[in-house]
Homo-oligomer: A and B are copies of this chain.
């Protein structure tokens, strides 16, 4: 089966030019792939030009009249933009006309529409956003949930652990990924009731390689492969990370404008921090997955360049090949049958 990926061609900071370039590039190098460009047909055709017949066999266009703005309220996008490129791309997944979709659009709107259209998997109450962050082991730490749900139970944290395990195994080739539960370190306070309860559930689960509690700085130390937390804490975490990086850029800038040598020095250090900030920036998740849905939805950078958008398409292809939603379902079933055995 050739993966069919719907691309939201109209969203993102740079619009269709980036998406179409990425599509043509990957189609020319990867034969077993079908892409569907979703958006204004006239605009897409104009940018597309006249690719070879070989490529056009594996590329189709799905018309959509609207576009979700980057700063549009998710609830308004959900209610008011039923013919947006984002919505139509997700609809194609729902209708089984595409196996996955990729969008560089507004994250909140993407989550709201995906959840509404695709629904969650059986056994998953709420979807979660997972992304990979750089760490001092020169690998990545995968963190979820980054803001899709806030009032979670211990059971939800267990579900996040399962989803994180499946994704990092299937897509990132990490065998037996270690799962850490985000907590605070003081002995007096071993975490709230929910975290304590979640720790018991994670510990007892045969499908999870549970490491134990980790703290905020462990994410960047690379202590574990996957860190699980509720969406409130995850969102504060990711925004704090970006805030600190921004603050450090500010301080270095201020300090470095003192003389010629310090200015030259800034020329080197600021790009290093800028690169890191792009990896951390919550508005720019690249290849972040919306997990727990009955379908595959990948978020690309809003400001993605061609290469980044290609990465997001590749992430979608692997999730299709590995059938991530089905693997998550199976692991949940295993877990549920374990429970029944115990009872």
B-contacting residues of A (Cβ < 8 Å)? 73-75, 107-108, 111-112, 134-136, 147-151, 182, 184-189, 191-193, 195, 215-221, 229, 231-233, 235-248, 250-252, 255-256, 261-262, 264-266, 268-269, 272-273, 276, 280
- Residues in B whose Cβ lies below 8 Å from that of A245: 244, 248
| 11 A-B contact pairs sorted by A residue (CB < 8 Å) | A74-B186, A111-B188, A136-B246, A150-B184, A220-B247, A221-B243, A233-B233, A240-B241, A251-B272, A261-B264, A269-B269
Q: Which of B111, B135, B192, B232 contacts A150 (CB 8 A)?
A: B192
Question: In the complex where A189-B147, A269-B265 touch, is A182 in contact with B236 (Cβ < 8 A)?
Answer: yes
Cα of A238 to Cα of B242 in the assembled complex, Å: 13
Q: Is the CB of A240 within 8 A of B265?
A: no
Q: Give the residues in chain B near A251, CB-CB below 8 Å.
A: 134, 272-273, 276
Bound-state Cα–Cα, A188 to B78, Å: 11
B243 close to A186 (CB less than 8 A): no
**Residues of the B chain whose Cβ atoms lie less than 8 Å from the Cβ of A232:** 184, 191-192, 195, 233
Q: Is the CB of B134 within 8 A of A247?
A: yes
Which applies to chain A's interface (DSSP): helix, strand, loop or mixed? helix
Across the A-B interface, the 4 shortest Cβ-Cβ residue pairs: A217-B243, A216-B239, A216-B240, A184-B235
Report Cα–Cα, A186/B238, bound state, in Å: 13
Chain B residue nearest to A107 (CB atoms) is B186
From B108, B186, B235, B244, A241 is in contact (CB under 8 Å) with B244
In whole angstroms, what is the CA distance A290 to B280 when docked?
A: 32
Most B CB within 10 A of own CB, among A74, A186, A235, A240: A240
Separation of A252 and B182 alpha carbons in the complex (Å): 27
Q: Is the CB of B268 within 8 A of A239?
A: no
Q: What is the distance, in angstroms, from A210's C-beta to the closest C-beta of chain B?
A: 19
Given contacts A149-B189, A151-B192, 20 further A-B contacts (CB under 8 A): A74-B187, A108-B187, A108-B188, A182-B236, A189-B231, A191-B232, A192-B232, A219-B243, A232-B233, A236-B236, A240-B241, A241-B244, A248-B276, A251-B272, A252-B269, A255-B272, A256-B268, A262-B268, A265-B268, A269-B269
